[in-house]
Amino acid sequence: MTETQEKILDTAERLIGEQGYAATSLRQIIAEAGVNLAAVHYHFGSKEDLLDAAVVRKAGPVNEARIAALDRVEQEAGEGQLDIDDVLDCFFRPMADVTRRNQKFVRLMGRIYSEGLMPQIVQKHFQPTMGRFLAAFRRALPELPEEELLWRVHFMVGAMAHTMCGPSSLPGLMDAPVDIPRRIERLQAFLSGGFRAPIAAAGEKK
Amino acid sequence: MTETQEKILDTAERLIGEQGYAATSLRQIIAEAGVNLAAVHYHFGSKEDLLDAAVVRKAGPVNEARIAALDRVEQEAGEGQLDIDDVLDCFFRPMADVTRRNQKFVRLMGRIYSEGLMPQIVQKHFQPTMGRFLAAFRRALPELPEEELLWRVHFMVGAMAHTMCGPSSLPGLMDAPVDIPRRIERLQAFLSGGFRAPIAAAGEKK
DNA sequence: GTCTATACTGAGATAGAC
DNA sequence: GTCTATCTCAGTATAGAC
């Protein structure tokens, strides 16, 4: 990894996290990184591939930590049932941990999910991890039908994405201090209740 | 409202809902609508203002129905406490109803939230409604501290946004039939559990 | 192999003729 | 009110210096 590549990745991570992908031009990135425009395409191929590389660099370790935590919890549980809160903890704690050292990256992660851009990137880098966690959720909530389980994980991802990227748009939260780990704790408690909720009756009318 | 304006709005609603805002060019919209490029800027000012107009046209009735439903529930409750499920119902049922007649619009709504674009638009058109609902949530969950309540509403918005726009990226849900009302029922049950969840202890360590 | 300079295409926006 | 022509800036592609 050359110095040029690292300067580009660092700057892209910061600017895209702050402003969003669409709002950040390659020309702004290269200006702040002090490199040439063509260097971006030489090293990364395209703007989208640059984002991909920036994600991969930091998301890899987070997902590894998630899997490691899940391995430990599953081993402790043996053949028995898993606790949904333990599973959520395996998923969110590594993210909270990395946030304590690097706020920039979590912003970028939120952008990726919530700008709706490139499901491919999410797919490519998070799908293996999600597969492991889906299995764990199944073990924690065996009474939940498969389709309902998938939707609940989908809701979880949506709430997480919206929560990660920047301050809330709700008036009372705008000027709240940016304490991401605390934010994640709140989210985890909320999701725990959601996963445990009884299933909605189909076609329910009040 | 001239015929030209309506053709532009209809086409924009459809294309942006299908492809997203960033991926849809004004030139594509005008080609399919059969109008001139400058007409868009003449009538709406900019691409962003066009989106704004498309949202306003359809979101207005939904929010009015939400407020009307909430009025009714609050009147029935009198001075007593509100039921969180009733409040959620007031919020989501109008959206499910409009979906039964017009799938295109819900896609557009999802895009707006989830492309992270223009918080201004969300702010401008949904904030008054959100204000009313925040008060209702407070009445339904009086024991919840204000900050926690605001975050939970934030999580709700994130889950909703992610759910509205297109199919899930989870393997098992990709080819599921697009039954938005059913999707909303599932979401509502999940959120109900989330809102009722006990609060996370600060700095909790397993 | 790395990087610079520069040109190309398509986007949103605008001025002015009609 | 409407449309043509044009402007600026985006992402991209390539030729060639080192």
Q: Is A9 within the bounds of a domain?
A: no
**Minimum-distance CB partner of A187 among B127, B146, B155:** B155
Q: Please give the share of chain A, as a percent, with pLDDT higher than 90.
A: 67
Q: How far is CA A151 from the centre of its chain?
A: 17
Name the E strands within B54-174: none
Contacts of B141 (CB under 8 A, 6+ apart): B84, B149, B195, B196
Q: Which of B117, B202, B197, B206 has its CA nearest to residue B161?
A: B117
Q: Is A13 within the bounds of a domain?
A: no
Residue B121, pLDDT score:
79
pLDDT greater than 70 at residue B116: no
Give the residue numbers spanning the domain of A132.
58-196
In our burial notation (b when 16+ CB lie closer than 10 A, e otherwise), range A156-166 reads bbbbbbbbbbb
Q: Is A139 within the bounds of a domain?
A: yes
B174: which chain A residues are within 8 Å (Cβ-Cβ)? Answer: none
Residue B138 CB neighbours (<10 A): 15
Indicate the pLDDT class of residue A180, thresholds 50, 70 and 90. confident
Indicate the pLDDT class of residue B206, thresholds 50, 70 and 90. very low
Residue A166, pLDDT score:
62
Instruction: Please write the tens of the pLDDT for every residue from A68-115.
Output: 999 999 999 999 999 999 999 999 999 999 988 888 888 888 888 767
Q: Are B12 and B23 in contact (CB under 8 A)?
A: no
pLDDT greater than 90 at residue B3: yes
Q: Are A151 and B186 in contact (CB under 8 A)?
A: yes
Average pLDDT across chain A, whole number: 90
Task: Look at the block and give the residue holding tokens 């304590």.
Answer: A100
> Best residue in B190, B205, B206 to probe A by mutation, most A CBs within 10 Å?
B190
Residue A122, pLDDT score:
78
Instruction: Please write the tens of the pLDDT for every residue from A122-131.
Output: 778 888 999 9
Q: Which of A92, A67, A65 has its CA nearest to residue A163?
A: A92
B183 contact A CB<8A: yes
Total domains present in chain B:
1
The Cα A21–Cα A14 span in angstroms is 11
More confident residue, B189 or B103: B189
Contacts of B95 (CB under 8 A, 6+ apart): B62, B106, B109, B184
A206: which chain B residues are within 8 Å (Cβ-Cβ)? Answer: 86, 89
The Cα B93–Cα A14 span in angstroms is 40
pLDDT greater than 50 at residue A206: no
Three-state DSSP string of B60-99:
HHHHHHHHHHHHHHHHHHCCCCCCHHHHHHHHHHHHHHHH
The Cα A23–Cα A85 span in angstroms is 37
* Distance from residue A50's CA to nucleotide D11's C1', rounded to whole Å: 13
Q: Which of A85, A42, A70 has its CA nearest to residue A135?
A: A70
CA distance B2 to chain A (A): 32
> Which CATH number is B165's domain given?
1.10.357.10
Phi, psi of B147 (to 5 degrees): -65, -40
pLDDT greater than 80 at residue A37: yes
Residues 113-152 on A with a CB inside 8 Å of B are 113-117, 119, 122-123, 127, 130, 134, 146-148, 150-152
Q: Is A140 within the bounds of a domain?
A: yes
Is A159's CB within 8 Å of B163's CB?
A: no
Contacts of B92 (CB under 8 A, 6+ apart): B160, B184, B187, B188
The Cα B34–Cα A164 span in angstroms is 41
Q: Which of A103, A91, A167 has its CA nearest to residue B154?
A: A167
Helix (H) or strand (E) holding A187: helix A180-196
CA distance B1 to chain A (A): 32
A158 contact B CB<8A: yes
Indicate the pLDDT class of residue B204, thresholds 50, 70 and 90. low
Residue type (1 letter), A155: F
Residue A124, pLDDT score:
83
Contacts of A112 (CB under 8 A, 6+ apart): A21, A51, A55, A118, A121, A122
Instruction: Please write the tens of the pLDDT for every residue from B89-105.
Output: 999 999 999 988 888 88
Is B194's CB within 8 Å of A199's CB?
A: no
Q: Is A23 within the bounds of a domain?
A: no
B97 contact A CB<8A: no
Q: Is A131 within the bounds of a domain?
A: yes
Q: Is A113 within the bounds of a domain?
A: yes
pTM score of the predicted model? 0.92
Is A150's CB within 8 Å of B172's CB?
A: yes
Residue B19 CB neighbours (<10 A): 14
Instruction: Please write the tens of the pLDDT for every residue from A3-32.
Output: 999 999 999 999 999 888 989 999 999 999
pLDDT greater than 90 at residue B133: yes
> Best residue in A100, A155, A179, A192 to probe B by mutation, most B CBs within 10 Å?
A155
Instruction: Please write the tens of the pLDDT for every residue from B26-72.
Output: 999 999 999 999 999 999 999 999 999 999 999 999 999 999 999 99
pLDDT greater than 70 at residue B174: no
* Distance from residue A30's CA to nucleotide C12's C1', rounded to whole Å: 23
Average pLDDT across chain B, whole number: 90
Q: Is B108 within the bounds of a domain?
A: yes
Rounded to an integer, the average pLDDT of B110-135 is 82
Q: Are B126 and A164 in contact (CB under 8 A)?
A: no
Residue type (1 letter), B121: I
Contacts of A65 (CB under 8 A, 6+ apart): A94, A97, A98
Rounded to an integer, the average pLDDT of A173-183 is 79
Residue A168, pLDDT score:
62
